[in-house]
Amino acid sequence: MVFRSPSRRDQDDGVRFSRTLTATLIIISILLIIFDRPDVRPPALSAVRSTVVDVVAPLLDLAARPLRAMGNIGPYWRRQSELAQENAALRDQLNDTLYWRDLALRLRDQIEIYEQTLDLDVTASQERVGAWTLADPTGPFVQSRIIGAGAERGIRDGDPVLNVFGLVGRVVETGRRSSRVLLLTDLNSRVPVIADRTNARAILIGNNTNFPRLDYVGRDADLRDGDRIVTSGDDGVLPRGLPIGVAALDRDGQWRVRLFSDQAPVDFVWVFPHVRVLPPEADPVIENEMEPPTGDETGTATDESIEPALTNSADDTASTTQGDTP
Amino acid sequence: MRGSIDARPPYGLAVWAAVSIILSLMIYASPGRLAQGGSLMPMLPLITIFIWSSIRPRFMPPFVIFIVGLMQDLITGGPMGVWALAYVVALMIMRVREEDGAKREIGPIWFRFVGVVAIATFIAWCAGSLATGGPAAIRPMLVEAAATVLMFPLIGLLTIRKRSSRSGFGI
């Protein structure tokens, strides 16, 4: 900040600033707006954004701590009289949960046996990274959160983010120690989903409200109020089966989803580093395989004619494989 | 804080201005929903830079306002330049053109602030709509603007020195 002693002009007319500088800043702002749109954002600007968030993340964490403490105190203070009743209800729930825990353990053992039988490698999808929400800015253009974990802990763009109730969103910017999560309610959020009961497919589209809408629902799709909506995994970005919410028909006849994740503040979340399902690569075309073998008139191929063909196809395969390797 | 403003070294006040701006950005970005409350948050950075540009215009040159707006863009995750443009234009139009450290009346300052908020919100809506490729939701912006206007007197009364009294609260 530059200071100068007040001049006579300052005293008469107030403080003035350079109009050229102001005009330059306005032009820079307009250029940034044009080039920092989500669909055309260059990687350099993305890097700047994630670096700045990384730098301010410790400060944001500092500001969030007292609020986290207040969040814990508030409900306790408000519900003092209901605690005993709640405690009894929780005991009942716990008893019920014991049955489900036994069932889950049995199923887990069964699944492990199936995975071993099928030789599946699912270790990557089992890991999860816990993180606190550092910032919850209420900007009118983007519905996002900043969380306190980044690439250092294995998080990458596109990874799903869940709280204890369900899917919150996905990672869209990854810094070293922080990440930005695009919420399901954001205008730019598109998630392919299915109804758990009937496998009816749709796209969940954020609209900056608490109830994102279901679009591209088939004309005869079997969808009812209260149907559980989960991710379909059709996009290959999010895994299948992550809980999202329940379907609800609004007054205009539009399907919307009441999000599970709204049942509690988005304070602590888990990020599930997810191995994306890539489309299968085409088999390499072996040209010589289709060529008729040159042999004697009776049509039987000689050993000498087969040998070069096999050699060529082996070379083709090797070169294709090399070409695919980054 | 109660002494005469002219006797104070400007660098101390500059540090105080910087700290208050950083604090306003941190509180603005803080996860308000964690406290089981609503997500209503006034534009604290705008309130802070307006108050400083009213009582110490020299502390708030355009590039400082630009940087505050840019930081708000980055923290909220919106397109860069939206709030930077809105704040620079609004504050340059409605800036208090008086000498540094002068005493003010809160009423006229509040009316001026309403103008600043209106201009900033309108520019941010236009720029945000351009950046997101469609009309941005106007309702949350209006709610945020209203909360900002209503919050201003509370902060302004504590910080802006009244013209009638040199020994009152404020800097």
Longest dimension (CA), chain A: 112
Give dist(CA B108, CA B160) in Å, integer: 12
pLDDT beyond 50 at A23? yes
Which residue type is seen at B41? M
The 10s digit of each residue's pLDDT in A258-302 is 998 887 766 789 998 877 666 666 666 666 555 555 544 444 444
How confident is residue A192, by pLDDT bands cut at 50, 70 and 90?
very high
Q: In the prediction, which pLDDT does A313 show?
A: 42
pLDDT beyond 60 at A308? no
User: CB-based contact (8 Å) between B21 and chain A?
Assistant: no
Measured in residues, chain A has a length of 326
Torsion angle in degrees (nearest 10) through CA of B26, B27, B31, B34: 140
pLDDT beyond 90 at B121? yes
Q: Which residue of B has its CA nearest to A71?
A: B35
ipTM: 0.81
Mean pLDDT, residues B129-140:
82
Q: Which residues in chain B are closer than 8 Å to A146, comparing Cβ atoms?
A: 29, 75, 77
Task: State whether residue A205 is helix, strand or coil.
Answer: strand
| Location of structure tokens 């716990």 | A94
- Going from the C-alpha of A15 to that of each of A26, A237, B60, the distances in angstroms are 20, 54, 10
pLDDT beyond 70 at A257? yes
CB B5 within 8 A of CB B165: no
Least confident of A48-52, A135-139, A172-176: A135-139
> What's the predicted TM-score (pTM) here?
0.70
Q: In the prediction, which pLDDT does B161 show?
A: 61
CB A193 within 8 A of CB A214: yes
Q: Which residues in chain B are closer than 8 Å to A23, comparing Cβ atoms?
A: none
Residue B168 counted as domain residue: no
Q: Which two tokens stand for residue B87?
A: 């704040």
pLDDT beyond 90 at A220? no
With CB atoms and an 8 Å threshold, state whether A22 touches B75. no
Q: In the prediction, which pLDDT does A304 show?
A: 46
Q: What is the mean pLDDT of chain B?
A: 79
Q: In the prediction, which pLDDT does A84 show?
A: 78
CB A161 within 8 A of CB A168: yes
Q: In this complex, which of B18, B32, B131 lies closest to A33 when CB atoms are compared?
A: B131
Residue B66 counted as domain residue: yes
Least confident of A319-323, B108-112, B116-120: A319-323
The Cα of A51 is separated from the nearest Cα of chain B by a number of Å equal to 10
CA angle in degrees (0–180, nearest 5) for A196-A202-A206 = 110
With CB atoms and an 8 Å threshold, state whether B99 touches A11. yes
CA angle in degrees (0–180, nearest 5) for B128-A173-B126 = 0
Task: State whether residue A246 is helix, strand or coil.
Answer: strand
Q: Which domain holds residue B116?
A: 5-159
Task: State whether residue A56 is helix, strand or coil.
Answer: helix
Q: Which two tokens stand for residue A301?
A: 């191929």
Q: Which residues in chain A are closer than 8 Å to B33, comparing Cβ atoms?
A: 136, 265-266
- Going from the C-alpha of B99 to that of each of A5, A11, A52, A141, B96, the distances in angstroms are 12, 5, 35, 37, 9
User: CB-based contact (8 Å) between B11 and chain A?
Assistant: yes
Per the structure, the count of domains in chain B is 1
Q: In the prediction, which pLDDT does B54 show?
A: 82
How confident is residue A112, by pLDDT bands cut at 50, 70 and 90?
confident
| Location of structure tokens 């379909």 | A232
CA distance between the termini of chain A = 49
Residue B167 counted as domain residue: no
Q: In the prediction, which pLDDT does A29 show?
A: 92
Least confident of A89-98, A125-134, B61-70: A125-134
User: CB-based contact (8 Å) between B13 and chain A?
Assistant: no
Task: State whether residue A276 is helix, strand or coil.
Answer: coil
- CATH at B83: 1.10.1760
Q: In the prediction, which pLDDT does B126 show?
A: 92
Q: In the prediction, which pLDDT does B165 show?
A: 44
Which residue type is seen at B24? S
Give dist(CA B170, CA B103) in Å, integer: 10
Residue B166 counted as domain residue: no
Mean pLDDT, residues A18-39:
88
In this predicted model, which residue has the larger pLDDT, A170 or A197? A170
Residue B169 counted as domain residue: no
H/E stretch holding B119: helix B106-132
Give dist(CA A2, CA B11) in Å, integer: 10
pLDDT beyond 80 at A22? yes
| Location of structure tokens 């007040």 | A6
Q: Considering chain A, what percentage of its residues have pLDDT values greater than 70?
A: 72
Q: In the prediction, which pLDDT does A45 show?
A: 85
Task: State whether residue A183 is helix, strand or coil.
Answer: strand
pLDDT beyond 80 at A210? yes
Beta-bridged to residue A133, according to DSSP, are: A147
Least confident of A160-174, A205-219, B80-94: A205-219
pLDDT beyond 70 at A72? no
Residue B55 counted as domain residue: yes
The Cα of B99 is separated from the nearest Cα of chain A by a number of Å equal to 4
CB A190 within 8 A of CB A161: no
Q: In the prediction, which pLDDT does A50 show?
A: 87
Q: In the prediction, which pLDDT does B120 show?
A: 93
In this predicted model, which residue has the larger pLDDT, B153 or A322? B153
Give dist(CA A180, CA A49) in Å, integer: 10
pLDDT beyond 90 at B70? yes
Q: In the prediction, which pLDDT does B122 show?
A: 94
Q: How is residue B94 annotated by DSSP?
A: S
User: CB-based contact (8 Å) between B96 and chain A?
Assistant: yes
In a mutational test of the B interface, the residue from A29, A133, A134 whose CB has the highest number of chain B CBs within 10 Å is A29
Q: Considering chain A, what percentage of its residues have pLDDT values greater than 90?
A: 15
